Amino acid sequence: MNDTFRRVAARVSEACGSPWAFIISVLVIVIWGVTGPIFDYSDTWQLVINTGTTVVTFLMVFLIQNTQNRDSRAVHLKLDELLRGVSGARTGLMNLEDLTDDQLEELKVEFERIRQHAQRAVATAESAEAAASEASDPEAARLAAEAAEAAAAEAAKAAKAATATEEAARAGFIASNGTKDG
Q: How far apart are CA 103 and CA 168, in angstroms?
A: 11
pLDDT confidence of residue 180: 46
Asked which of 1-5, 108-112, 118-122 is least confident by mean pLDDT, the reply is 118-122
What value does the CA radius of gyration of the chain take, rounded to a whole number of Å?
29
Q: How far apart are CA 133 and CA 142, in angstroms?
A: 10
CA 54 to chain CA centroid, nearest Å = 31
pLDDT confidence of residue 149: 78
Give the length of the chain.
182
The pLDDT tens digits for 5-20 are 888 888 888 898 899 9
The pLDDT tens digits for 64-110 are 898 888 888 888 888 888 878 887 776 777 777 778 888 888 888 88
pLDDT confidence of residue 161: 66
DSSP annotation of 178 = S
Cβ contact 110:116 at 8 Å: no
Query: What's the pTM value of the predicted model, to 2 decimals?
Result: 0.51
Cβ contact 127:87 at 8 Å: no
The per-residue DSSP string of 54-94 comes to HHHHHHHHHHHHHHHHHHHHHHHHHHHHHHHHSTT---TTT
Q: How far apart are CA 119 and CA 114, in angstroms?
A: 9
